[in-house]
Structure 1
Amino acid sequence: MLLEDDLLLAMDMEEFLAGRGYEVIGPYGRVEDALEALETTEIDGAVVDLNLHGKLSFPVIDRLRCRNLPVIVCSGYAELPELKQKLAGLPLLPKPWNPRKLERLLEDVFEAVPR
């Protein structure tokens, strides 16, 4: 699953993921749409933008974690003190995103998930 509110970035990430053999569900630009997809679609893991038009995506992140699904959090806000504790232990992809960094995270986080 891909959750990203910036359309151009979402398209770039979708192309990047698909080019590496991942089936991309989404991209979704709203927390509500991603939560609905989690209820209706089989998902093996996710790359999730933390801030979607000013709304934090913790409901999606929490639901993924409750299901023990791998998640990579993409954010330019991850170092803020009020978010740092809540993101502890999650793999983070800083924005602007670096394709090599995402590739390393995918290998580390998703390697046990069949594609």
Structure 2
Amino acid sequence: MAQSNGRILVVEDDPKLAGMMVDLLLAEDYEVDGPYTSVSDGMAALAMHIPDGAVVDLHRHSRSESLLKDDLEAYAIPFLEGEDSGAQDLQQRLLPWLRHMRH
């Protein structure tokens, strides 16, 4: 069994994108914490286990989303912020970000 490259917290409210993220992360030998569909669930997961990185992509933006990002920054956890540009953009952004995170 390959050794994990680390644990990534996934907070994504679109089931299709969440599934794609999980597949990409697992293919790159990351453990996946999530996907969580709300800020409150993501914050609870963060409190339980500090991840090595996070992907936060919420399409129903809320004020509490910034609280999650503030917590990630406070713990110096690198995170990739999602954009509303879809699955193709996610794949083009996620893999390079993971490779950069490893170095």
TM-score tier by shorter-chain length is 0.7 to 0.9
Q: Identity across aligned pairs (percent)?
A: 30
Alignment of 1:36-55 (within 5 A): 36-49=44-57, 51-55=58-62
- How many angstroms apart in 2 are the aligned matches of 1:73 and 1:101? 10
Q: What secondary structure, in the 3-state scheme, does the structure 2 residue paired with 1:24 have?
A: strand
Structure 2 CA distance for partners of 1:105 and 1:40, relative to 1, 3 Å: same
Partner residue in 2 for 1:107: 99
Asked if the contact 1:46/1:71 (under 8 Å) is kept, the reply is: yes
Structure 2 CA distance for partners of 1:11 and 1:42, relative to 1, 3 Å: same
Which of 73, 79, 97 in structure 2 is aligned with 1:71? 79
Superposition TM-score, scaled by structure 1 size: 0.72
- How many angstroms apart in 1 are the aligned matches of 2:52 and 2:37? 19
Equivalent residues, number: 92
- How many angstroms apart in 2 are the aligned matches of 1:52 and 1:36? 19
Indicate the larger mover: 55-64 or 17-26.
Answer: 55-64
- How many angstroms apart in 2 are the aligned matches of 1:74 and 1:14? 14
Aligned residues: CA RMSD? 1.5
Asked if the contact 1:10/1:27 (under 8 Å) is kept, the reply is: yes
Q: CA deviation at 1:96?
A: 1.4
- How many angstroms apart in 1 are the aligned matches of 2:61 and 2:82? 14
Query: Where do 4+ consecutive residues of structure 1 move more than 6 Å?
Result: none
Q: CA deviation at 1:100?
A: 3.0
Q: CA deviation at 1:52?
A: 4.3
Superposition TM-score, scaled by structure 2 size: 0.80
- Higher relative contact order at CA 8 Å, sep ≥6: structure 1 or structure 2? 2
Which of 8, 14, 33 in structure 2 is aligned with 1:6? 14
- Please, which runs of 5 or more residues in structure 2 have no aligned partner? 1-8
Matched, 1:22 2:13: no
